[in-house]
Amino acid sequence: MNEKELAQLAIDTALQMGASYADARVIRLQRESLEVRNGNVNGIKQHIEMGMGIRVLVNGAWGFAGNPDLKKSKVEIAVQRAVALAKDSAHLYHKPVELARRKAIVTSWKSPCEQEPFAVSLERKLEALFEIDQILRGVKGVALSESGFDFWKEWQIFVNSEGSAIEQEIIQTGAGFSATAVSDTDVQIRSFPSSFGGQFASAGYELIPTLDLTANAQRIAEEAVQLLSAKNCPSGEKTLILGGSQLALQVHESCGHPVEFDRVLGHEADFAGTSFLTQDKLKHFQYGSEIVNIVADATVPGGLGSFGYDDEGTPAQCSDIIRNGKFVGYLMGRETAESFGMESNGAMRAEGYNHTPIVRMTNINLLPGEHELEEMIASTKDGIWINDNRSWSIDDKRLNFQFGGELGWEIKDGKIVGMVKNPTYTGITPQFWNSCDAIANQKHYKVWGTPNCGKGQPMQVARVGHGVSYARFNNVKVGVGYAE
């Protein structure tokens, strides 16, 4: 039996055992992660896993089982486990689960990839990392140099009891480096193209030369050393310009998570997991200023959160979350959408074969505005500009947040006057987004990949994306938490 026939067997078995709905995903995941640290290979992780996840609805309750053994007899045992789990938990449901309608789809989809990363030799990849490492360590004052590549190739066949059969292959690549400088009293880090691993995209090895890693290594390492003697971020209410991975993370934490509809409904609450964006606010609440437009777009070519179909077989789509500042949409799956009388907008995804799909971000993008970055700086009287994240915290309603960046640029009377270290800012989500008065144009727009979004219990890690340019916010409290 091939994978599709095994998945179909799981569906047929589940229906025979009383399921009203069933879906099965057979997944083959290939993964490679390489890290070079201070002139040495610090890690080479390679693994391949394969298995089937079976989800069933019996008596209006969900059952799920993951199964790494694709023998026919083992598939049947896994279906029995899933069905038994649904039957045992049915009495806990307030009302039976219903799924928003979806017509059957039979198709296949592949993410764009020019150069299959697993076909590139390990030697060539390590050579590229050593080249970066050497430049970083060549800068006096750098105590720790780290660089790495990450690759994923995930093949999956999805089959459900409504007649869908969808084959997908998604290839993703990530790359980046950081330099840490240490003095007797301080530790400072700079990263490129972004903190926490670099840039990630649905792409093959061809992504890596486009990131200009070696060309930026010297500058980034020097910035880490310069930060040691830079002044601390001044404190007070100032204008704040955000870009890069910092703006991406701001969107992720203060918009992406609170619009996950399962959290709004209270189905899921782990990891700061409820939301202030309750249902009464939909289509009424002024989330941000009128220039703030945010979409959930799983169709962006190259986005780390892009796919052809989600893990319920719903086609990838682009839907409005914030339109002209108003809160207009949630991230939903078939179950959560039905509870609201809507259709799923394709946001259900699972990590690997052995987790059940939950509502996840796709690419949550802050659409570009009309400004040039230079003009945004030139019209700022007293501000701080931050691009790369260093730390964050946000409360469980996603309202109060505090972020720290790796490096800040101080702006006085329209000019960048110097570097500041330990830049931080704090705010309350709607006040903050309502203070947004300028967003940079398409020229500055880029979709950043976030490879490590954790959610659920047991925890699932998702790879999601955030398209951003630069945005400016007014009267933001900066320089909190670091005393001179």
Which residue's CB is nearer to Zn ion, number 189 or number 453?
453
Using alpha carbons, select from 95, 242, 104 the residue that is nearest to residue 162.
104
Which residue's CB is nearer to Zn ion, number 61 or number 453?
453
Tell me 206's DSSP state.
Answer: T
Using CB positions, name the residue nearest to Zn ion: 453
Q: Which stretch binds Zn ion (CB under 5 A): 94-102, 156-164, 327-335, 452-460?
A: 452-460
Count of CB atoms situated within 10 Å of the CB of 301: 11
- The whole-angstrom distance between residue 389's C-alpha and the CA centroid of its chain comes to 14
Q: Which stretch binds Zn ion (CB under 5 A): 119-127, 328-336, 429-437, 449-457?
A: 449-457
Check residue 386 for interaction with Zn ion (CB under 5 A): no
Q: Taking the complex as a whole, how short is the minimal distance between the CB of residue 42 and Zn ion, in angstroms?
A: 26
Tell me 154's DSSP state.
Answer: E
Q: Taking the complex as a whole, how short is the minimal distance between the CB of residue 271 and Zn ion, in angstroms?
A: 8
Is residue 144 within 8 A of residue 180, CB to CB? The reply is yes
Q: Which two tokens stand for residue 179?
A: 């330099």
Count of CB atoms situated within 10 Å of the CB of 383: 24
Q: Which two tokens stand for residue 34?
A: 């390489």
Q: Taking the complex as a whole, how short is the minimal distance between the CB of residue 252 and Zn ion, in angstroms?
A: 6
Q: Which helix (H) or strand (E) holds 41?
A: strand 40-58
**Whole-number Å distance between alpha carbons of 357 and 347:** 9
Q: Which stretch binds Zn ion (CB under 5 A): 238-246, 323-331, 410-418, 450-458?
A: 450-458
Q: Taking the complex as a whole, how short is the minimal distance between the CB of residue 257 and Zn ion, in angstroms?
A: 6
Cα R_g (the chain), whole angstroms? 24
Which residue's CB is nearer to Zn ion, number 360 or number 472?
360
Check residue 453 for interaction with Zn ion (CB under 5 A): yes
Q: Which stretch binds Zn ion (CB under 5 A): 19-27, 148-156, 272-280, 445-453?
A: 445-453
Which residue's CB is nearer to Zn ion, number 26 or number 264?
264
Using alpha carbons, select from 235, 226, 243 the residue that is nearest to residue 382.
235
Which residue's CB is nearer to Zn ion, number 305 or number 313?
305
**Whole-number Å distance between alpha carbons of 90 and 59:** 6
Q: Taking the complex as a whole, how short is the minimal distance between the CB of residue 418 and Zn ion, in angstroms?
A: 33
Q: Taking the complex as a whole, how short is the minimal distance between the CB of residue 454 and Zn ion, in angstroms?
A: 6
Using alpha carbons, select from 33, 37, 27, 57 the residue that is nearest to residue 46.
33
Q: Taking the complex as a whole, how short is the minimal distance between the CB of residue 210 and Zn ion, in angstroms?
A: 26
**Whole-number Å distance between alpha carbons of 142 and 137:** 6
**Whole-number Å distance between alpha carbons of 175 and 125:** 11
Q: Taking the complex as a whole, how short is the minimal distance between the CB of residue 341 and Zn ion, in angstroms?
A: 28
Task: Give how many residues touch Zn ion by CB under 5 A.
Answer: 1
Check residue 373 for interaction with Zn ion (CB under 5 A): no
Instruction: Report the site for Zn ion in 205-224 (rule: CB under 5 A).
Output: none
- Contact positions vs Zn ion (CB under 5 A): 453
